[in-house]
Amino acid sequence: MPVLSAQGLCKSYGDVDAVRDVSFVVESGEIVGLLGPNGAGKTTTLNMVLGVLEPTSGSIAIEGMDLRKHRAQALARTNFAAVYAALPGNLTVYQNLRVFGLIYAVPNLKARIEESLAEADLIRFRNTKCGVLSSGEQTRVSLAKAMLNRPRLLLLDEPTASLDPAMARDIRRRIRAFAAAGTGGVLWTSHNMYEVEEVCDRVLFISKGRILLEGDPRKLPAAHGKKTLEELFIALARESLIPEPT
C-alpha cells in the first residue's frame, strides 16, 4: 500500500483552476520530487495533502486512510517542514519539540527529543528561542520536528531554500537516510535541479496545475532530448507560459 495516494485532485478558486486532475502515489522508502515553476500548483497540492486546504474534488489517502473522513488519524502518520512555516520563534527549540511531540503522540517523548536534538546537531540550541536562530538553524529545527514522530509520509516544501551548500548537503543526507530506512516516503518540492537529481527517486513535473511529466530524474532529460534536468525544467516552464488555446 502506498504511503500517499492522491487521486483526481482538483482545486479551483472561482474560475481559476489551481490544480487540475492531479493523481500520483508515493511509496514507502521513495523520495518523490514535485517540480514546477512558481505558481504551478506544487504548494497547493502539498497543502491539500496536509489537510489545510480542501480539494474541490478528488481524494487523498495516507496509508489507505481517507484524509477527509479520518483527518486526525491520517495526519498523525505525516509531518512536514516548509521554508515558509518556521516554528514559533517565541518558544525554545526544546519547547517547540515538546509541544509538537505531544500533538503527534510521540512515544517516550523525552528520549525522542534528546535523540532528535543530537541527530540534528541542535543540542547547544536546546534552550535557545527559535526566533533568534539563523535561517539554517531554524530549518534544522523544522526538520527535527518533521521527523520527531517518525512519519510514514514526510512532506517537504523547499526545505533547503535558505541554506548554504554544506548545510543543504547535510539535510539531503538526512532525508535520504530517512527514506533508505524504508519506514516512510517523502514528497519534496525544490527548485534546485541538482538537488532533485541527487535525492529523488522519481519526479513529477507540474505546470498550470497539471502533471506534465513523470519519471526518473536521471533519465528524463535524455528521454526528452535535453542534457540536464534544469534544461528540461526550463523548457517545460517556458511551454507552460504559452497560453492554452481556449
Partner 1 sequence: MSAARILAVVLRQYYLIRGTFARFLPLFAWVAIDMLTWGFLSRYLDSVAGSPLNFVPRLLGAVLLWDFLVRVAQGVTTAFLEDVWSRNFLNFFATPLTVGEYLAGLMLTSIATSLVGLIVMLIMATTVFGLPFLALGAISLPYLLILFLSGISLGVFGAGLVLRLGPASEWFIWMIPATLGPFAAVFYPMSSLPGWMRAISYLVPPSYVFEGLRSVVGGGRLAWSPLLAGGALTAFYAALAIGFFRITYRRAIRTGLIARYSAESVS
207/76 Cα distance (integer angstroms): 30
Closer to partner 1 by Cβ: residue 91 or 167: 91
Could you tell me the smallest distance in angstroms from the CB atom of residue 37 to partner 1?
Answer: 19
Could you tell me the smallest distance in angstroms from the CB atom of residue 47 to partner 1?
Answer: 5
Non-local (6+) Cβ contacts of 177 within 8 A are none
Closer to partner 1 by Cβ: residue 51 or 215: 51
Closer to partner 1 by Cβ: residue 109 or 213: 109
Could you tell me the smallest distance in angstroms from the CB atom of residue 72 to partner 1?
Answer: 4
Compute the Cα dihedral for 117, 122, 127, 133 and give only its sign.
Answer: negative
Chain centroid to CA 224:
26
Per DSSP, the residues of 107-137 read TTHHHHHHHHHHHTT-GGGTTSBGGGS-HHH
Closer to partner 1 by Cβ: residue 159 or 221: 159
Q: Are 152 and 63 in contact (CB under 8 A)?
A: yes
Binding residues (CB under 8 A) for partner 1: these are: 13, 43-44, 47, 50-54, 71-73, 75-76, 78-80, 82, 84-92, 95, 98-100, 102-105
| 2 closest CA partner among 187, 181, 176 | 187
Could you tell me the smallest distance in angstroms from the CB atom of residue 115 to partner 1?
Answer: 19
